[in-house]
Amino acid sequence: LELLRDREPLPAEYIDHDARLQTIEAQGLEAVWLFPTLGVLYE
């Protein structure tokens, strides 16, 4: 993560649970599936 932070700051919703919930609610989503391990590989 340190290498990525130097290139582009991580959005709060990537690492903070409460910020992630706010983003989900703001997008009007009722449910989400999170695959954090796979997401890091393909980001």
pLDDT, position 19? 96
Q: Tell me the whole-structure pTM to 2 decimals.
A: 0.60
Quote the number of domains for the chain: 1
Residues 6+ apart with CB under 8 A from 19: 11, 12, 13
pLDDT, position 8? 74
**Residue 21 parent element (H or E):** helix 17-26
pLDDT, position 41? 62
Q: Which domain holds residue 28?
A: 2-42
pLDDT tens track, the chain, 43 positions? 566 667 777 789 988 999 999 999 999 999 998 776 655 665 5
As a whole-number percent, the residues of the chain with pLDDT over 90 amount to 40
